[in-house]
């Protein structure tokens, strides 16, 4: 009987030691924080659950959906298209074309991403952009909009746009409403009606900056000022001025990844 008790005690101690070792092995390494990422290949709308999505037929002219007509990878891509012009915007009413899901990172469990971040996206665009010869705004198209703001008032943004001359460029840099660059291409135009990779580097820290590459070649580079270090909300898809009468954009293979630096 005494021998049996000793064996049971030994088994208990071995078991206790095993549990102790198992807990130690799964203890998180607080000095090696895992970088966060958001990835979507637009195979399902569930990727954007709980995020704001612009309504179908926005202002009666802009539509979007998951489509299998032109795809970079997988079965579907995000397609958005315009069927007519909108009234001109006013100081109180923004009549830009909008067709996109918004990625609202502030609504996720861990909140906004911390920059620096790399964003990569494959885009396919068919849209004619023209110069306004009457003194109004020239045509433009916006591939991406980023903000640190967590509310609906996106009063500080960074954009990746295409101008009527065919050049991809950063918008609202280094401050909101400004267009000043460290580097901006004036010879590498954006090829339409084919898949193009856009890669974007965002650093919202003090003395931060942004860069954009088109198919691996740097096209725009600028400083960033007066922005908090949190990537809160983002939208891709269709965003264009009201005077555009038609056009289509496809998005595929989106990746947003926190990194330590460029």
3-state SS track over 89-148: CCCCCCCCEEECEEEEHHHCCCCCECCCEEEEEEEEEECCCCCCCCCCCCCEEEEEEEEC
Q: For residue 180, how many other CB atoms are within 10 A of its CB?
A: 11
**Residue 225 CB-density burial (10 A; 0-12 exposed, 13-18 middle, 19+ buried):** middle
Q: Examine residue 66 and state whether it is found in any structural domain, yes or no.
A: yes
SS3 64: strand
Q: Examine residue 125 and state whether it is found in any structural domain, yes or no.
A: yes
Q: For residue 35, how many other CB atoms are within 10 A of its CB?
A: 11
Q: For residue 93, how many other CB atoms are within 10 A of its CB?
A: 10
Which pLDDT value is given to residue 12? 38
Which pLDDT value is given to residue 7? 40
* Threshold 0.95, pTM exceeds: no
Q: Examine residue 183 and state whether it is found in any structural domain, yes or no.
A: yes
Q: Examine residue 17 and state whether it is found in any structural domain, yes or no.
A: no
Which pLDDT value is given to residue 91? 87
Which pLDDT value is given to residue 155? 94
Q: Give percent helix, percent strand, percent coil of the chain, each to the nearest 5.
A: 10, 40, 50
Q: What is the CATH number of the domain that holds 45?
A: 2.60.120.200
Q: Examine residue 25 and state whether it is found in any structural domain, yes or no.
A: no
Partners of 120 in the β-ladder: 199, 255
Total structural domains in the chain? 1
Give mean pLDDT in consecutive 10-residue pieces for the chain, a chain of 262 residues. 42 37 34 82 96 96 98 98 96 94 97 98 97 87 98 96 98 98 98 98 97 98 98 98 97 98 94
Q: Examine residue 23 and state whether it is found in any structural domain, yes or no.
A: no
Q: Examine residue 28 and state whether it is found in any structural domain, yes or no.
A: no
Which pLDDT value is given to residue 31? 44
Q: Residue written as tokens 């000022």?
A: 225
> What is the Cα 34 distance to its own chain's centre?
20
Q: Which domain covers residue 142, as residue numbers?
A: 33-258
Q: For residue 66, how many other CB atoms are within 10 A of its CB?
A: 15
d(CA 228, CA 225): 9
Partners of 65 in the β-ladder: 79
Which pLDDT value is given to residue 161? 98
Q: Residue written as tokens 């009201």?
A: 242
Q: Examine residue 10 and state whether it is found in any structural domain, yes or no.
A: no
d(CA 201, CA 95): 29
């Amino acid at each position: 009987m005494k021998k049996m008790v000793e064996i049971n005690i030994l088994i208990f101690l071995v078991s206790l030691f095993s549990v102790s070792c198992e807990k130690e092995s799964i203890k998180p390494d607080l000095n090696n924080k895992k970088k966060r990422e958001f990835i979507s290949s637009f195979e399902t709308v569930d990727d954007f659950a709980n995020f704001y999505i612009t309504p179908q037929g926005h202002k009666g002219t802009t539509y979007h959906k998951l489509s299998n007509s032109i795809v970079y990878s997988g079965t579907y891509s995000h397609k958005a298209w315009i069927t007519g012009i909108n009234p001109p915007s006013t100081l109180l009413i923004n009549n830009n074309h909008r067709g996109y899901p918004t990625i609202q990172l502030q609504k996720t469990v861990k909140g906004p991403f911390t920059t620096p971040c790399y964003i990569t996206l494959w885009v396919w665009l068919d849209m004619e952009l023209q110069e306004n010869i009457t003194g109004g705004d020239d045509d433009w198209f916006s591939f991406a909009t980023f903000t640190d703001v967590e509310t609906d008032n996106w009063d500080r943004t960074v954009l990746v746009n295409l101008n009527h001359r065919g050049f991809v460029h950063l918008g609202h840099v280094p401050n909101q409403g400004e267009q000043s660059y460290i580097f901006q291409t004036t010879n590498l135009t954006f090829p339409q009606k084919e898949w193009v990779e856009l890669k974007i580097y965002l650093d919202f820290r003090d003395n931060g900056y942004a860069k954009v590459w088109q198919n691996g070649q740097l096209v725009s580079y600028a400083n960033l000022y007066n922005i908090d270090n949190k990537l809160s909300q983002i939208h891709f898809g269709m965003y264009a001025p009201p005077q555009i009468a038609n056009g289509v954009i496809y998005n595929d293979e989106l990746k947003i990844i926190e990194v330590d630096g460029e």
